[in-house]
Structure 1
């Protein structure tokens, strides 16, 4: 009997370190297929229909492992131990100062030189039912790997549901007090045409405040009201409407590259953001239990990385909705805590739901 939602496994190549990388395609009867590789736990494709039924891939990525192994802007990756920036590559825990790689100017970004995006994850389990298909990946980040304390046992479970939603469940435990902030770094372009920038997408973010940054994109410590600024997405508006506005924060990010302070944090798992592309009718909704979301508009893409069809990924050819805690939280006592203690379980869920209208 054929399952309504299924998983297909294949080989995707071998790393320069001689590790075998597998590819898994999660597919349902609704016409959506999600391709995931064990290198970096990366989402490499999301094939989904537009309002006329035309199936196209809507995430930026490559068709070979070699391209993922060389430097790229975290296309589709699982990011850890700490998504986003930590100021000056340092933080203090229990009166001990920990030093991290400075891989983004003076700061640490997305876990360091070899974060979770550059390791081969182990497949813990595959589950198929009539209503969902799950792929469970695991990685043990050893004590002091990339400078972070504690042996962090991490699992991420991707689940494709019959309703065209993709759940991402992050779980972790540690044997020593540490910090953790995991996220998913897919770049979306709902047009399916990566030669076109995402400025024609409408975006809505349920947030009254955002996190302003300094010249090195580290939070200043304040939370700013979005009212009357280009950062107000409480009502849906085109990404391009104010992306080049005369605004200090826009100038610092080269566009949008900021963390929004999501509303209703005490409510837990809730709908927080939407993107809509009117020509194709494709809609992406994000649900999460996290306090923040980095909205990044691909400002640093520079037409040096190849698309699958012979072109190049130019500036703003994709956007990210990275659900997470605020940047530099280990150094900002006023921000929600990212500490994880032995005996505690880190558990957070984000959903990407695709539809048309």
Structure 2
């Protein structure tokens, strides 16, 4: 249960690995980015998440794999937003003109501090200073990662000392079959609408019905080749914990996603390239998919999207559970 060394970053900072176990599930979590590095199910002969044994990969080709991303998950168009009459400019780390996952040194690149560690759960914390990556407000973030019965839960909280924007998400990649291609998985998403995007993957502002097209996953169907990196609109504000998606592999193993969040980003992993993976695997395009529960992307710039502002005295609180069903 004691954290063990996993490696050192180029600047000398040490990264540790935490091992969790409960019932049929076992997991490994890194202090870098609160990364879920591995997840195993007893009786399943392969990991069900994509991870890497190589710390250097998390700085390059495996960037964001399994990490808690923020302080604002997903994209902020043009790396700017206006809050209470003041315009803020954030780090341009996506195509040199937009902000992605909180900037080049977002929460995934930070060393989180272990607050408590038990056999089945860990609580990690992170302090972001005022002005970090251009965002206002000093922010304290906590992540409780726990194995609970048949599932893996993430309880994320944040507080700020000045008005800011906040969206935190677990950016795990899943492959329930271990075959290196998720396009034959079946997926259901309980969403009536999704967000179309422009050529830079920034939402256009339209909230489009999914009716009958490639984005209609209201009934389970094969993922296929349509190409997905889009937000599905679960609700117009946070809701009590409820099931929102179900992924099923050809093996029959299923994963149900439950969340309090208002959005779900589905990314089919199309742009993965030769990532060194677990058990000697090399991950290529579509080796895994992400189902990221979060605020809607670019919400700070879109008046018609759910509010993503966090103010002093308020608590950002979001829970997501991934339940596995054989």
Supply the distance in 1 between the matched residues of 2:281 and 2:46 (Cα, whole angstroms): 16
Aligned-partner SS, 1:349 = strand
1:26 maps to what in 2?
20
Aligned-partner SS, 1:57 = coil
Q: 1:72: Cα distance to partner?
A: 3.0
Matches within 5 A, 1:215-294: 215-240=199-224, 243-244=225-226, 255-263=227-235, 267-279=239-251, 281-294=252-265
Q: Is the 8 A contact 1:24 1:36 kept in 2?
A: yes
1:62 matched to 2:55 = no
Aligned-partner SS, 2:142 = strand
2:172 maps to what in 1?
186
1:127 maps to what in 2?
118
Aligned-partner SS, 2:283 = coil
- TM-score under structure 2 length normalisation: 0.96
Supply the distance in 2 between the matched residues of 1:55 and 1:325 (Cα, whole angstroms): 34
Matches within 5 A, 1:261-340: 261-263=233-235, 267-279=239-251, 281-302=252-273, 304-340=274-310
Q: 1:309: Cα distance to partner?
A: 4.2
2:105 maps to what in 1?
114
Supply the distance in 2 between the matched residues of 1:93 and 1:265 (Cα, whole angstroms): 19
Question: Residue deviations 1:189-209, cap 9 Å, x none?
Answer: 10123xx31011010000011
Q: 1:99: Cα distance to partner?
A: 0.6
Q: 1:266: Cα distance to partner?
A: 6.5
Aligned length: 325
Q: Is the 8 A contact 1:58 1:191 kept in 2?
A: yes
CA RMSD of aligned residues (A): 1.5
1:100 maps to what in 2?
90
Supply the distance in 1 between the matched residues of 2:101 and 2:34 (Cα, whole angstroms): 14
Structure (1 or 2) with the larger CA radius of gyration: 1
Out of 136, 153, 161, the position equivalent to 2:140 is 153
Q: Is the 8 A contact 1:8 1:26 kept in 2?
A: no
Q: 1:311: Cα distance to partner?
A: 4.3
Question: Residue deviations 1:107-164, cap 9 Å, x none?
Answer: 1111111110111100011235xxxx22000000000010000000110110111x22
- TM-score under structure 1 length normalisation: 0.87
Supply the distance in 2 between the matched residues of 1:301 and 1:103 (Cα, whole angstroms): 18
Question: Residue deviations 1:193-252, cap 9 Å, x none?
Answer: 3xx310110100000111111121111111111112100000000111xx33xxxxxxxx
2:73 maps to what in 1?
83
CA change 1:17–1:334 in 2 (3 A) is: same
Q: Structure 2: which 5+ runs fail to align?
A: none
Supply the distance in 2 between the matched residues of 1:296 and 1:209 (Cα, whole angstroms): 16
Q: Is the 8 A contact 1:208 1:263 kept in 2?
A: no
CA change 1:165–1:311 in 2 (3 A) is: closer
Aligned-partner SS, 2:183 = helix
